[in-house]
Structures are given as C-alpha cells and as structure tokens.
Structure 1
Amino acid sequence: MSGVKKRFIAGAVCPACSQMDTIRMFEEDGVPHRECVNCGYADTLDARGNSVPKELTTRVNAPKPVAAKVQRGQTVQFFPNPRLKKDS
C-alpha cells in the first residue's frame, strides 16, 4: 500500500461532473491533490487552495509522433505525382 491517506471533503462539488461529496483530498511530498471518485477528475492545489493549471500542450512540449514502421517483406507501392508531368 502507498501509505497516502485520502479523505473525502464533505460538501465539495466536483468542477468537472458537478457531483457533490465525490472529492477526496490527499498530499504527496507536501503537495495537496484532489480527485473525483465519480468521473476521475484530478488536479493539484497551490498553497492558497487554488487549482494549479496544467501546462498546455504545444509543439515544444508535445510528445514526438512515432513514425510508422514498414515490416520486413512488406510491399510498399509509390505512385507518381500527376502534377509533375514530364515534357517529352
């Protein structure tokens, strides 16, 4: 077991699904977190109790796309570009 004590907050309303009494709070390394047991919403709180926004995904911090792999023995067919006509 992780040893993290999670406690429900009476009267708390989930910001995502608007259900009451489904939010539980816990701390990891002194940082407060909350999560909804109904919809799975989770966030981190700052020292004043405000939600800390997650970093927006940009082209700089986004995971790099994985190139499709061609399996050995697989046939790949290329078609000429019809816009590039050779003059005879």
Structure 2
Amino acid sequence: MAVQKRFIAGAVCPRCAEMDRIRAWEQNGVRYRDCVNCDFFEQAPIEEEAATELETRVNREREEQRKNTIQTVRILDPRSR
C-alpha cells in the first residue's frame, strides 16, 4: 500500500523559504518531510513525548502577537502597606 503524503498548510520550507510546499508522511516509525519546490528532505524518528510543532504562518503570527501585547502597569503606593 502506498504511503499518503500530505501537504502542511502554512509550513515554510527551511531551505527555499517557499510557503505551502512541504509534504509530510510517516513510514516504519520514521517521520519524513520534503519540499516539492527544492531538494529539501528531512527524516526523524517518531518520538511520542517530544512532538514539536512545525513553524507555520499561524503560530508565527501568534508569537508576534504575544510579543506585541499591551500589558497594564499598576503603580503601587508604598504607604498602603
């Protein structure tokens, strides 16, 4: 049976920096990723505990929003103790 390769929406290729060109699949306990635009290829053993999220435009934007979040500053009166 052929392994089904799936595109990862929003993933950016680490080599050519093109978006939506990364495919991923798993076979025999190994996770594979490749780019259809360049010769990027990566394989890694599947580790159940340390599953890392692939970088996408969504989680990048989330991180940028977290950095740009306005936080309220509360001034304490030292006499109120």
Relative to the length of structure 2, the TM-score reads 0.54
Who is 1:16 aligned against? 15
Who is 2:26 aligned against? 27
State the shift of 1:49 in Å. Answer: 4.6
Number of residue pairs the alignment of both structures matches: 49
Who is 1:80 aligned against? none
More helix by share: 2
- Aligned-residue sequence identity (percent) comes to 49
Structural RMSD (CA): 1.7
Q: Which has the larger radius of gyration?
A: 1
Relative to the length of structure 1, the TM-score reads 0.50
Cα deviation per residue 1:7-61 (whole Å; 9 max; x = unaligned)? 00000000000000000001110211000000020001342356xxxxxxxxxxx
Q: Supply the distance in 2 between the matched residues of 1:49 and 1:31 (Cα, whole angstroms).
A: 13
Q: Counterpart of 1:45 in structure 2: which amino acid?
A: A
Unmatched 5+ stretches in structure 1: 51-88
Q: Counterpart of 2:26 in structure 1: which amino acid?
A: E
